[in-house]
Amino acid sequence: MSRAVLSIGSNIGDRFAHLQSVVDTLGPRVVAVSAVYSTAPWGGVEQQDFLNAVVVAEDSTRSAHDWLLLGRELEAAADRVRVQRWGPRSLDVDILTCCDAAGEVRSDDPELTLPHPRAHQRAFVLVPWLDVEGDGELTVGGVRRRLADLLAELDPAERGGVRRCDLSLSAPTLSAPTPPDASGRRREC
C-alpha cells in the first residue's frame, strides 16, 4: 500500500474547479478531504488569495515518485505554468508525506524531498491537514512532531490568515459538493 498526503492550492482561474479536479482524478483512491480554506499568498509575491485543501489518498500501485508524476500531470492539465517561485498558479500539488509497506518514505531527491521540507512552517498546510488527521504527525529535523504542536508554534497572524470557506470538495465516498446559491453560483471565500 502507498498512502500520500497531498496539499493542493489554486489562485488563478476557477480555483475551486482546479482543486476539485484533483479529487475527481483520484476518485476512489481518496481516503479523506479537508475543508477548503482561503489563505493569503505565502512567499512575498503579491497575488490573489489561494484556495487550499489537503487530500489523503491510497493506491497500492503507486510509489512516492508516482505520486509526484501524478501531481505534475494534474498541474499540467490545469495549465500550470512555472514562471515565478511562489508566484500565482492555477494548481499546485505538493506531496507532504508518503508511506509505503516499509513505513514513512524519506527522500533527499531534489525533485521530491520527503517529508515536505517546509510543511511545518505553513499554516495553510497544517490547518487543513489537521481536518483529516487530527492526531497526525510530521517528521521535522528527524523528529516526529504532532501537527497541532507545529501549528501552535507558528505566528498567530499566520494561523489567523487561514480562513475556512463554505465550499466542500466531493469524492465518491465523501459528501456532496456545496450546492449553488440562488444565483446558481457556488459561494466563494
Q: Please state the length of the chain.
A: 189
Which pLDDT value is given to residue 40? 86
Which pLDDT value is given to residue 88? 81
CB of 168 closer than 8 Å to CB of 36: yes
pLDDT per residue as tens digits for the range 150-169: 999 999 999 999 999 999 99
Q: What is the dihedral of CA 166, 171, 174, 179, to 10 degrees?
A: 40
Which CATH number is associated with domain 3-164? 3.30.70.560
With a cut of 50, say whether residue 187 has pLDDT above it.
Answer: no
DSSP conformation class of 92? E
Rounded to 5°, the CA angle 48-52-58 comes to 150
- The model's pTM: 0.87
C-alpha cell read off for 180: 449553488
**Minimum mean pLDDT range among 27-41, 63-77, 81-95:** 81-95
Domain ranges of the chain: 3-164
* Cα 109 to Cα 81: distance, rounded to the nearest angstrom: 22
DSSP conformation class of 120? G
Which pLDDT value is given to residue 67? 96
